[in-house]
């Protein structure tokens, strides 16, 4: 158990470094994105315009939490069980505190029965690996989706995609598909260890020999995925025109409701009126900003000629200027905060 903990204390910094490289790639892409606009989605339906940089950084913050979980886990890994004997402690006058200090542990275990059976740290390590894999899978899934012809927001470099043995036009996102698939494997490793632990009595049982294989496998998997993901992101090509063309005026329907609220209309009523404008544009087969002012005022006299300003997507984005919002200034502030940490 002592050797296992020592191994894990060395593995965690190695994982930190691999995560940092991927996070750096995400921040670099966010900086390069500038004012590039893309559709934001809920339920995979177009919702509101956002900055591409804001999207890249959303994945950075998720991975940051994973790194923090590994760091927090370290204090529970860094507990020395040595000196607990088989289960009852050692019969010799051992200075366990000195042992802990010499081996680099932060503290010593306080109960020998618990110490010889404790594999919480291994299960927690696998949970953090699994959670990180889920975040990587989410990023991979979105890139797979956004590289399809139907979206066309990104194009992968040839170095990180493969062709088809049958269809010469294919450019398959294998790196991201394999990353997505590994998340299921990782969750299986965690579930397997938990299933082993849940049936054990107190103290040591030979079943605990099953703790190492899943931990080693999870570590190897992450150390394979992370650098390849980072390298693939460095070489991805963004298609700003395609992203911009995917935005239509209905995505500013919320802004239209906000416009009415600013003019004193209660939000519930403003929401209903904005919905009527959406339906009127749909029935007329025109964009919302193409409706004449008379059509707006037929729905509500509160609408004025300045309503057309609502349909500028960059204006919509820059109104979201609260901390954590998608405005250009907010994204710059996020990057500044990241670089200052």
Domain extent listing, the chain:
2-245, 251-340
Q: Is the pLDDT of residue 170 over 80?
A: no
Class of domain 2-245: mainly alpha
Strands, DSSP E only, in the chain? 37-42, 45-51, 79-80, 107-108, 154-155, 237-238
pLDDT of 94 reads 85
The set of residues, in sequence order, having a beta carbon less than 8 Å from that of 192 and lying 6+ positions away, is 210, 214
Tens of pLDDT, residue by residue over 263-274, are 999 999 999 999
Mean pLDDT across the stretch 34-48? Answer: 96
Tens of pLDDT, residue by residue over 212-247, are 999 999 999 999 999 999 999 999 999 999 999 999
Classify domain 251-340 at the CATH topology level.
Ribonucleotide Reductase Protein R1; domain 1 (1.10.40)
Tens of pLDDT, residue by residue over 70-109, are 999 999 999 999 988 888 888 888 899 999 999 999 999 9
pLDDT of 84 reads 87
Mean pLDDT across the stretch 260-286? Answer: 94
Instruction: Find tokens 């959670």 and name the residue.
Output: 131
Catalytic residues: 43, 164
Distances in whole angstroms, Cα of residue 155 to Cα of each of 37, 53, 161, 238:
17, 17, 10, 7
- As a whole number of angstroms, the distance between CA 326 and CA 317 comes to 6
- Rounded to the nearest angstrom, the gap between the alpha carbon of residue 239 and the centroid of all alpha carbons in its chain is 22
- Categorize the per-residue pLDDT at 69 as very low, low, confident or very high, splitting at 50, 70 and 90: very high
Terminal Cα-to-Cα distance of the chain (whole angstroms): 34
Whole-model pTM? Answer: 0.92
pLDDT of 202 reads 87
Tens of pLDDT, residue by residue over 173-196, are 999 999 999 999 999 999 999 999
């Amino acid at each position: 158990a002592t050797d296992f903990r020592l191994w894990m204390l060395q593995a965690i910094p190695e994982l930190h470094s691999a995560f940092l490289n991927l996070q750096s790639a995400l921040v670099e892409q966010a900086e390069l994105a500038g004012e590039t606009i893309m559709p934001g989605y809920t339920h995979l339906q177009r919702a509101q315009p956002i900055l591409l940089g804001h999207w890249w950084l959303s994945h950075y913050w998720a991975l940051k939490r994973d790194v923090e979980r590994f760091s927090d886990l370290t204090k529970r890994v860094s507990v020395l069980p040595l000196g607990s004997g088989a289960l009852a402690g050692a019969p010799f006058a051992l200075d366990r505190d000195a042992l802990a200090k010499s081996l680099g542990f932060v503290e010593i275990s306080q109960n020998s029965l618990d110490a010889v059976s404790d594999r919480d740290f291994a299960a927690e390590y696998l949970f953090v690996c699994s959670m990180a894999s889920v975040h990587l899978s989410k990023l991979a899934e979105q890139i797979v989706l956004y590289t399809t012809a139907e979206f066309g927001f990104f194009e992968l470099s040839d170095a990180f995609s493969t062709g088809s043995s049958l269809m010469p036009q294919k450019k398959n996102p294998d790196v991201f598909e394999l990353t997505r698939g590994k998340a299921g494997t990782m969750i299986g490793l965690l579930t397997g260890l938990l299933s082993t632990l849940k049936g054990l009595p107190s103290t040591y049982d030979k079943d605990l020999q099953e703790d190492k294989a899943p931990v080693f496998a999870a570590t190897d998997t992450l150390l394979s995925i992370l650098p390849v993901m980072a390298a693939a992101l460095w070489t991805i090509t963004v298609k700003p025109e395609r992203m911009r063309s995917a935005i239509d005026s209905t995505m500013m329907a919320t802004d239209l409701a906000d416009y009415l609220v600013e003019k004193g209309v209660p939000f519930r009523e403003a929401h209903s009126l904005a919905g009527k404008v959406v339906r009127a544009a749909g029935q007329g087969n025109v964009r919302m900003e193409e409706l004449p002012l008379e059509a707006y005022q037929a729905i509500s006299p509160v609408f004025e000629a300045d309503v057309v300003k609502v349909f500028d997507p960059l204006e919509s984005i820059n109104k979201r200027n609260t901390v954590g919002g998608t405005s250009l200034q907010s994204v710059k502030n996020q990057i500044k905060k990241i670089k200052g940490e």
